[in-house]
């Protein structure tokens, strides 16, 4: 069973009781897939172990592969044992949990499968007391989203509930929410033909991470930070999401998506919105989501004439990552040997509002980079007069001089936490200044396990809390921002010059070594403003 120290930790005193959902039946489309095995079932089992599920519930898996209930239960047991990293597996607990697991093979495009599903859900309602509260999780390729929603409606399993309150039935949609602006609008139209917005849960697992959830609390619950969270004190912001792995067995998907669609347009834009948003009038879901959307609408659009000054792309070559030899992207399985798909993307954004005018926000995301991490770094302006410069260059050593600005870092993965870098006098008879860091880490501060992102998001979808899910206007605003860049990159072939009235150099792919921090153009984009990427 899961071990916690919550009762003995004074930091946890006074917290409200954990929220518990109503009875429900959860249907997982694509239950034979990797996401279900690695993330969904381990998360649901963890919720069960922690007594966060109701007594009455049922899980119904569906995919094309033929399986019996018992075969499905055995495969999910293997998955839970393998992928539940910090939940101790208990045979008796699993025996009780697995009695609520069922499976039906079916074709997601055929109405007959949904008619059979409707009968099964009625049987589960009688057997497990689910009260007809059905939630449908679309853990499938994006091409099946529209057919599934249409069939749910045609079979009577999904229907609109005109209310501002959480309502059943519900549909959970995994990213990507469309492939571009037009496909996103079309998907949204199909969803809203069938369901009310309060029944749609567009899941972005970054919003379920503890450090991401803590951004609002950190900003708005601490009077020492919010007054300096603006253009007067912040020099620039850097957001990095780096992976050491390549595309692995997702070559076909990545050829369609690339780094921009896979990471920047969704995950990193959510981080930008949380960091830059204004205080909401309350903590109700719509107030917080309103403020996140306002940020996206205030971002300066990409201009066709200067787009290459604000966006850089790259593709990894051979190299060494963590001491291991890595092949180039074009040699990966299911990847074209002449592919121009980006595996690295970096952006420079400006938010044209009162708080952030003139403050650049740099984002980068890539595969086969030197280290795996995701972080948000707020670099503050240097003091207007460096008093200690009067003492000569010996005050700062070379390393400390480069790190002299105060930097606040929110570490999202792998080590969740927050650090603050500041200058202090080194002990001794002379004045020597060096930078030190104060660190806070979730794993050590609270003495309890940190729930996975999917645990939090699945629980929220079951309780009807959409706070950490993407709303339709946020998705549309993000696609609208990046549509000009998508079109530009599709037309601009690396190795050829484009641009109106000027020469733009597009270095041929691949343009960065595996194990590096990306292409040189990324560094050059920051150098224009006198900035450099943080050494990580």
- pLDDT tens-digit series, residues 45-96: 999 999 999 999 999 999 999 999 999 999 999 999 998 877 888 899 999 9
For residue 388, pLDDT beyond 80: no
CB-facing half-sphere around the CA of 356: CA atoms within 13 A: 23
Report the relative pairing of strands 417-426 and 432-441 from DSSP bridges. antiparallel
Instruction: Yes or no: say if 111 and 151 are a contact pair by the CB < 8 Å rule.
Output: yes
Q: Is residue 501's pLDDT more than 50?
A: no
pLDDT at 392: 54
Residue from 24, 280, 14 nearest 136 by CA: 24
Task: List own/partner pairs for 326-329 with CB under 8 A and 24 or more apart.
Answer: 326/246, 326/368, 326/514, 326/515, 327/246, 327/514, 328/510, 328/514, 329/246, 329/247, 329/367, 329/368, 329/509, 329/510
CA distance 136 to 236: 41
For the ranges 171-185, 246-260, 353-367, the one whose mean pLDDT is highest = 353-367
pLDDT of residue 10: 37
Pairing of strands 234-242, 324-326: unpaired
Tokens of 175: 């990213």
Q: Residue 428's pLDDT band (boundaries 50, 70, 90)?
A: confident
pTM: 0.88
pLDDT at res. 399: 46
Query: Across all residues in the chain, what is the average pLDDT?
Result: 87
pLDDT digits (tens, 9 = 90+) for 292-324: 999 999 999 999 888 999 999 999 999 999 989
Which domains can be identified in the chain, with CATH numbers?
Answer: 22-203 (3.40.50.720), 208-385+472-527 (3.30.360.10)
**Residues labelled as active-site residues:** 267
């Amino acid at each position: 069973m899961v071990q916690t120290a919550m009762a003995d930790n004074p930091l946890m005193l006074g917290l409200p009781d954990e929220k518990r959902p109503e009875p429900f039946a959860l249907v997982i489309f694509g239950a034979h897939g990797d996401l279900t095995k690695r993330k969904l079932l381990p998360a649901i089992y963890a919720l069960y172990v922690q007594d966060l599920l109701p007594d009455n519930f049922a899980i119904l898996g569906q995919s094309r592969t033929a399986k019996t209930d018992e075969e499905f239960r055995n495969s999910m047991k293997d998955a839970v044992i393998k992928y539940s990293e910090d939940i101790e597996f208990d045979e008796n607990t699993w025996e009780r949990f697995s009695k609520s697991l069922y499976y039906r093979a079916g074709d997601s495009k055929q109405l007959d499968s949904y008619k059979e599903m409707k009968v099964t859900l009625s049987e589960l309602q009688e057997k497990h007391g689910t009260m007809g509260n059905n939630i449908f999780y679309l853990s499938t390729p994006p091409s099946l989203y529209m057919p599934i929603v249409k069939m749910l409606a045609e079979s009577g399993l999904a229907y609109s509930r005109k209310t501002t309150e959480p309502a059943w039935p519900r549909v959970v949609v995994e990213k990507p929410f469309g492939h571009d602006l037009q496909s996103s609008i079309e998907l949204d139209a199909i969803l809203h033909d069938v369901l009310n917005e309060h029944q749609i849960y567009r899941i972005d697992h970054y919003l379920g991470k503890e450090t991401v959830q803590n951004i609002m609390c950190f900003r708005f619950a601490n009077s020492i930070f919010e007054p300096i969270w603006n253009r007067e004190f912040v020099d620039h912001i850097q957001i990095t999401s780096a992976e050491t792995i390549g595309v692995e067995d997702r070559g076909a998907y990545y050829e369609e998506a690339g780094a921009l669609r896979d990471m920047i347009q969704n995950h990193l834009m959510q981080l930008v919105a949380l960091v830059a948003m204004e205080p909401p009038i309350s903590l109700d879901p719509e107030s917080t989501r309103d403020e996140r959307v306002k940020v996206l609408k205030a971002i300066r659009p990409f201009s066709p004439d200067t787009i290459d000054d604000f966006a850089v792309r790259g593709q990894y070559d051979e190299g060494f990552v963590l001491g291991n030899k890595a092949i180039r992207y074009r040699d990966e399985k299911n990847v074209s040997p002449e592919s121009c798909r980006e595996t690295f993307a970096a952006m420079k954004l400006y938010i044209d509002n009162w708080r952030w005018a003139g403050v650049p926000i740099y984002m980068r995301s890539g595969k086969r980079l030197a280290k795996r991490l995701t972080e948000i770094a707020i670099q503050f302006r240097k003091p207007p007069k460096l008093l200690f410069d009067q003492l000569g260059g010996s005050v700062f050593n070379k390393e400390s001089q480069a790190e002299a600005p105060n930097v606040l870092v929110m570490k999202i993965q792998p080590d969740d936490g927050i650090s603050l870098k500041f200058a202090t006098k080194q002990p001794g008879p002379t004045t020597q200044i060096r930078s030190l860091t104060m660190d806070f880490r979730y794993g050590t501060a609270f003495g309890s396990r940190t729930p996975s992102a999917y645990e939090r998001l699945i629980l929220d979808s079951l309780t009807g809390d959409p706070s950490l899910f993407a709303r339709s206007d946020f998705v549309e605003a993000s696609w609208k921002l990046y549509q000009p860049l998508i079109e530009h990159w599709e037309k601009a072939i690396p190795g050829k010059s484009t641009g109106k009235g000027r020469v733009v150099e597009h270095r041929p792919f691949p343009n960065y070594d595996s194990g590096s921090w990306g292409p040189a153009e990324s560094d050059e984009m920051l150098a224009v403003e006198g900035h450099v990427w943080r050494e990580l």
